Amino acid sequence: MNYNAKVTGTGSAFPKKSVSNEELAKQLAKDGIETNHEWILERTGIVSRHYSETGNPDEFNSSLACLASQKALQMAGKTPEDIDQIIFATCTPDTPLPSNGCWLQKKLGAKNAYAMDLVAACSGFIYALNTADQAIRSGDVKTSLVVGSETLSSMTNWSDRSSCVLFGDAAGAVIVERAPADSQSKIITSHLQSDGNLWEILHVIAGGSNEPVSSEALKQKRNKIQMQGREVFKHAVRTLSQFATKALDEAKISHEDLDWFIPHQANLRIIEAVAKRLNIPMNKVILNLDKCGNTSSATVPTALDEAVRQGKIKSGQTVLMDVFGAGLTYGSLLLRW
């Protein structure tokens, strides 16, 4: 047995409500939080983002993921029954139990699959794609559904202006299928790493078993995202550059030969700094953060989906995905479309 794994379908879904910087600033001002469109645009590159409507079952994390998965299945020409494995990357699941993978399995009708969640924050989609690649190459799995989907608005600290303007809600999905050993279209290489010593610079401390949510925790917003923005920024630029280089070096692909770069969409300044370090011109960088904000594990699959549907990414082209997130977690994955 000697197989490859290749991505054959992509899909994405967003909540209906899109909120511009101006609208967000107006909303936050009601609670005494000062911000403005110019600051957000200049410091992040974000113009608007989508938020799920709280309590609307059509906009639960797993429901957005279901819509994205149906689109990916359609592109791949597959049915839900064809799926053997569902890997759902998220840090904002619908419920602590069961997993979002199982909610998605039920909604999709993927009755032949086994489903699980994978928690690696913003790096989750690449960790999940790496896991699917290994399962397919080992011969265990033929067809995998890999999802990155978040409703980050549920854990945003609306009184912290330096983080609350960054995040948005979205779902992205891909179908990964077994391909022959000589397939040109395939996942070429991936590199993952994490450093738990850096947990403190980006975390949500309450809501787990150490500190279940209490009225005190709610009051102190300990169940919401806490972030040291500048520290995260620094690590992001360094690790994104390092992991992109690892993938290109291993595949012996020069930055000139790379067709597309899809970095985690957290901040345009981070992306520009990384592209500059790697000598990748910005016209090869796929961006969607202007209209989505940072959607954590959903940034890369939604950006990929948009580029594929716009016909930017063509058969035989190389695509480098590159991520970092809470943990800290890092990773890159290179594929040929």
How far apart CA 289 and CA 165 sit, in angstroms, is: 12
Selected catalytic residue, list 66, 122, 164, 292:
122
Give the nearest distance from C-beta 231 to ligand UT7 in angstroms: 8
- Both tokens of residue 72? 């990916």
Binding test (CB under 6 A) with ligand UT7, winner from 18, 20, 35, 193: 35
- Among residues 17 and 161, whose Cβ is nearest to ligand UT7? 161
- Among residues 217 and 227, whose Cβ is nearest to ligand UT7? 227
Residues 244-273 as x/- pattern, contact with ligand UT7 by CB under 6 A: ----------------------xx------
Contacts of 234 (CB under 8 A, 6+ apart): none
How far apart CA 195 and CA 199 sit, in angstroms, is: 8
Contact 64, 171 (CB under 8 A): yes
How far apart CA 275 and CA 237 sit, in angstroms, is: 10
- Among residues 67 and 232, whose Cβ is nearest to ligand UT7? 232
CB atoms within 10 A of CB 34: 9
Distance, first Cα to last Cα, the chain = 23
* Residue 158 within binding range of ligand UT7, rule CB under 6 A: no
Binding test (CB under 6 A) with ligand UT7, winner from 43, 255, 277, 312: 43
* Residue 153 within binding range of ligand UT7, rule CB under 6 A: no
- Both tokens of residue 13? 């879904």
- Both tokens of residue 148? 């990155």
* Residue 39 within binding range of ligand UT7, rule CB under 6 A: yes
Q: Where are the beta strands (DSSP E) in 134-185?
A: 143-151, 169-180
- Among residues 266 and 307, whose Cβ is nearest to ligand UT7? 266
Give the nearest distance from C-beta 44 to ligand UT7 in angstroms: 5
Characterize the bridge pairing of strands 3-13 and 169-180: antiparallel
Selected catalytic residue, list 264, 267, 288, 292:
264
Confirm whether 264 is a catalytic residue.
Answer: yes
- Among residues 53 and 160, whose Cβ is nearest to ligand UT7? 160
Confirm whether 91 is a catalytic residue.
Answer: no
Residue closest to ligand UT7, measured at CB: 229
Exposure string over 192-227, b if 16+ CB within 10 A, otherwise e: bebeeebeebbebebbeeeeeeeeebeeebbbbbeb
Amino acid letter for position 232? V
Q: Segment contacting ligand UT7 (CB under 6 A): 6-14, 39-47, 80-88, 130-138? A: 39-47
Binding test (CB under 6 A) with ligand UT7, winner from 70, 134, 162, 242: 162
* Residue 91 within binding range of ligand UT7, rule CB under 6 A: no
Residues at the interface with ligand UT7 (CB under 6 A)? 35, 39-40, 43-44, 122, 161-162, 165, 227, 229-230, 232-233, 236, 266-267, 294, 325
Q: Which residues are catalytic?
A: 122, 264, 294
